[in-house]
Structure 1
Amino acid sequence: MSDPAVPRRPTLDLRSLTPARVALGRSGASVPTRALLDFTLDHARARDAVHAVFDAPLLAADLRALGLVVTEVRSRAVDRRDYLRRPDLGRQLDAGSAETLARCASEPCQLAIVIGDGLSAAAVHAHATALLSHLLSRLAEGDGVAIGRVVVASGARVALGDEIGAILGARMVVTLIGERPGLSAPDSLGAYLTFAPKPGRTDAERNCVSNIHKAGLSYDEAAFKIAWLVREGLAREVTGVVLKDESADRAPRRISTALPE
């Protein structure tokens, strides 16, 4: 028997703790009208996020205002329809973009930042510039990690950063990209870190910091985790399943600022 001295909390209380769809109630064999309308609205927002227009020039201008050197590129996906139907094209630079980056790659760098639209351009426009501003401050701490170049990529999948990082000669690439919209967060941003980027890297060779949005991971929390993983990844010369996020338990190692010959 339950202890009568312990008050029972109604299931409805869970709704104050999570944006997930819990304790919706019931109306006959279905959900209440309010819950159905909320679901329909959130589904529409998710679809809109997937098809939202990515304004790469506007984003690039905002990033240049932070004092960054920015290059715009695009994948081989010629339009949004092509991008959604052919994920492989979003992982490859078009020929003109590859040539542009090759001309920019004057010398190797420690870190390259790629910002791509992914599956939610809305997330990128809402959060990328603010997150990068916090990340720059975190990377400047201590021995400092210099960013070689920032690349804004249209029609991008995560793996597009591998080719970009390889062309730029970056020891590591951080790709900020719009995540697949959910019914509670249509504007969630993700960050993917890859050491020694090159085409053919797998997801097992990356670290991910996800769920960056107003109701999720804050900019400062995300920047702290990303900066920790960057420093630790450069020190160990590895990312992926062998590099665990222990940012809450230990300080990152000091890294050498020397680049390979």
Structure 2
Amino acid sequence: MSTPSLWRDLRRFTDARVGLGRAGTAQPTSAHLDFQESHARARDAVWSSLDVAAMEAAVAPLGLPVVRVRSAVPDRRDYLLRPDLGRRLAEGTVLPRAPGSVVFVVADGLCAIGVQRHAPAVLERLVPALALPPGPVVIAEQARVALGDEIGEATGAAAVVMLIGERPGLSATDSLGLYITWAPRRGRTDADRNCISNVRPGGLSYDEAAAKTAWLLRAAQGLGATGVALKDEMPAGALPAP
């Protein structure tokens, strides 16, 4: 059965699986095969690994110190099974002090592909827009969001911005998220941070993500807090035009 024109028109504006049509009581074969392919891509993205050397080269033009760290996770399998270990630094990790700065953590998370593709471009736009001094770029493997709290505490940072791969979906397997935490320290929760998600060419642009992050950091500096205490009241007109 053919797809009605109304559904075809709607599909021009969304990546969601709408108006797939049907063959009797089932989906058309093409829609079923497309779903299986997208599901396989999402699974592959979860198991992808970060090319740390390439990331170091990509962020080198920023002129900031670059540090490599790992979480307490021994391998990718344990990363998926033990989220708690991904929130702790490996034993013996030493980090440089950077008091009062904004420390950037570039972490593989659940989608290293997204970090590899998008994090350098976001940092290129974000660093010049900061009101606070930029600290080091910490490249973290097998990392969860809360690893940034321990990194921020160890460096003495005023704030941590974690750029991390988001869990892949069926329509987006390379999405980057940014988590902003003021006065980071162990024991912080998600209620203490602000999140900017879906950073990719098909989602939020690099310019928009950098502008939003810089605004939230300035607001956090004035308020002395992020998370539920900090409301995103950035004027819509302040975002760069597409």
User: Percent sequence identity over matched residues?
Assistant: 55
Distance 2:5 2:36 in 1: 29
Q: TM-score, normalised by structure 1?
A: 0.87
Q: Does the CA-based 8 Å contact 2:72-2:88 persist in structure 1?
A: yes
List gaps (5 residues or longer) in structure 1. Answer: 1-7, 252-261
How far the C-alpha of 1:9 sits from its partner, in A, is: 7.1
Q: Does 1:26 align with 2:22?
A: yes
* Structure 2: segments with no counterpart, 5+ residues: none
Q: 1:109 to 1:149 in 2, by over 3 A?
A: farther
Matches within 5 A, 1:16-165: 16-97=12-93, 100-101=94-95, 104-105=96-97, 107-139=98-130, 144-165=131-152
The answer to whether the Cα contact below 8 Å between 2:67 and 2:138 also exists between their aligned partners in 1 is: yes
Match of 1:256 in 2: none
Aligned partners of 1:165 and 1:45: how far apart in 2? Answer: 33
**Are the equivalent residues in 2 in contact too, given 1:162–1:199 (CA < 8 A)?**
yes
Counterpart AA for 1:112: V
Distance 1:109 1:242 in 2: 20
Distance apart, 1:250 and its partner CA = 8.5
Deviation at residue 136 of structure 1 after TM alignment:
1.6
Paired amino acid for 1:184: S
Distance in 2 of aligned mates of 1:175 and 1:29: 46
Structure-2 separation of matches of 1:74 and 1:28? 52
Query: Which of 144, 163, 174 is the matching residue for 2:161?
Result: 174
Whole-angstrom distance in 2 between the partners of 1:79 and 1:56: 15
Counterpart CA distance in 2 for 1:41 and 1:134 is 34
**Aligned partners of 1:109 and 1:168 also within 8 Å:** no
One-letter amino acid of the structure 1 residue matched with residue 189 of structure 2: T
- Give the structure 2 partner of residue 226 of structure 1: 213
Task: Give the Å deviation of 1:244.
Answer: 1.4
Contact kept, 8 Å, 2:160 with 2:184, in 1: the verdict is yes
User: C-alpha offsets along residues 206-245 of structure 1, whole Å, 9 cap, x if unaligned?
Assistant: 1000000110000001111011001101111010012111
Structure exhibiting the larger radius of gyration computed from Cα positions: 1
Deviation per residue, 1:3-31 (Å, 9 max, x gap) = xxxxx971221100000111111111111
Output one character per residue of 1:144-192: Cα deviation in whole Å (capped at 9) or x when no partner.
Answer: 3211211000000000000000000011111000000010000000000
Determine the C-alpha separation between the residues in 2 that align with 1:174 and 1:87: 20
| Offset at residue 95 of structure 1 (A) | 1.3
4+ residue segments displaced more than 3 Å: none
- After superposition, the CA RMSD in angstroms is 1.5
- Which sits farther off after the overlay, 77-86 or 25-34? 25-34
Per-residue deviation, 1:61 = 2.2
User: Is 2:15 the partner of 1:15?
Assistant: no
Q: Match of 1:210, SS?
A: strand
When the two structures are aligned, how many residues end up with a matched partner?
235
Distance 1:242 1:17 in 2: 34
CA distance in 2 between partners of 1:14 and 1:138 (Å): 37
TM-score (norm 2): 0.93
